[in-house]
Amino acid sequence: MANSQYEYVKVFEQDPILLPNTWLVVRIDGQSFHRFSSTHEFEKPNDSRSLHLMNRCATYVFDQVNDVCIAYGESDEYSFVLRRDTEYYGRRAYKLASSIGSIFTARYVFHWSEYFPDIPLKYPPSFDSRVVAYPTVKNLRDYLSWRQADCHINNQYNTCFWKLVQSGVTKADAEKRLSGTLSANKNELLFTDFNTNYNDLPAMYRKGSIVVRDYVNEEYMDKATSEMRTRRKMRTVVIHEDLIGDKFWNTRPHILGDKK
């Protein structure tokens, strides 16, 4: 049973290489999460346990794959940005997309019970993944802005929708009520009808989650004096800030800067 007569089939395998010197974004997306979240009784409009679980998985990917310089997540999706000079997996498209998708999936199932201790996993969810190349910093930032604007728009809508539903309005009527409304109308509705200031809602819901390496103040004991002191250290953190404006990027030039 020699293998040599069959090995020729390897010529059919094609693994496209992504254009060099472009930013690579691997985006994973929950599949059929509507059904998954309702089966597992997710809170509406946001379930913070699920978001923290997503962030946990994303942080793992971030720390595991050296060339990921920033990750952004909202709802059941996460985007991982690889530096433009990355040679991770030789920039092979399938390898990149499928590996990161699989690592993320595995972590989600693995850590589930830590975030949902009272809700057994009835079946495991899955995530598809893709990889996209962006040639410039502007294109990349616009991509991230697109996802954050999407987060905001969905969250504002869903917040109104579920407030209405929880107040007794039918789903159909809630939909009708919101149809065609502008952002300002929705904030007004929240404020007037539900005494809710949209901007007071948790930043994680409004802005999504950003995984980066950033300076944090860390306490430590000075051995000489046994006193507690504070020092600044670079750590992987999850933050919930606006990344559409320049401030986020200007204060963290290392994110898109060249690899040391």
Helices of type H across the chain: 33-39, 48-64, 93-115, 137-166, 171-178, 183-194, 203-207, 247-250
Q: If 0-12 CB within 10 Å is exposed, 13-18 middle and 19+ buried, where does residue 12 land?
A: exposed
Residues of this chain that interact with a second copy (CB under 8 A) are: 1-3, 5-9, 11-17, 19-22, 31, 84, 93-95, 97-99, 101-103, 105-110, 121, 123-136, 139, 142-143, 145-146, 149-150, 152-153, 183, 244
Closest distance to a second copy from the beta carbon of 229 (Å): 35
Is 34 flagged in the annotation as binding? yes
**CB distance 197 to 226 below 8 Å:** no
Encoded tokens for 74: 């909202």
Is 37 flagged in the annotation as binding? no
Closest distance to a second copy from the beta carbon of 120 (Å): 11
Helix axes 171-178, 137-166, angle to 10 degrees: 130
Is 32 flagged in the annotation as binding? yes
CA distance 170 to 236: 43
Nearest to 134 by CA among 121, 145, 119: 145
Is 63 flagged in the annotation as binding? no
Closer residue to a second copy, CB minimum distance, 136 or 170: 136
Closest distance to a second copy from the beta carbon of 101 (Å): 5
Is 222 flagged in the annotation as binding? no
Closest distance to a second copy from the beta carbon of 118 (Å): 18
Closer residue to a second copy, CB minimum distance, 97 or 212: 97
Closer residue to a second copy, CB minimum distance, 132 or 169: 132
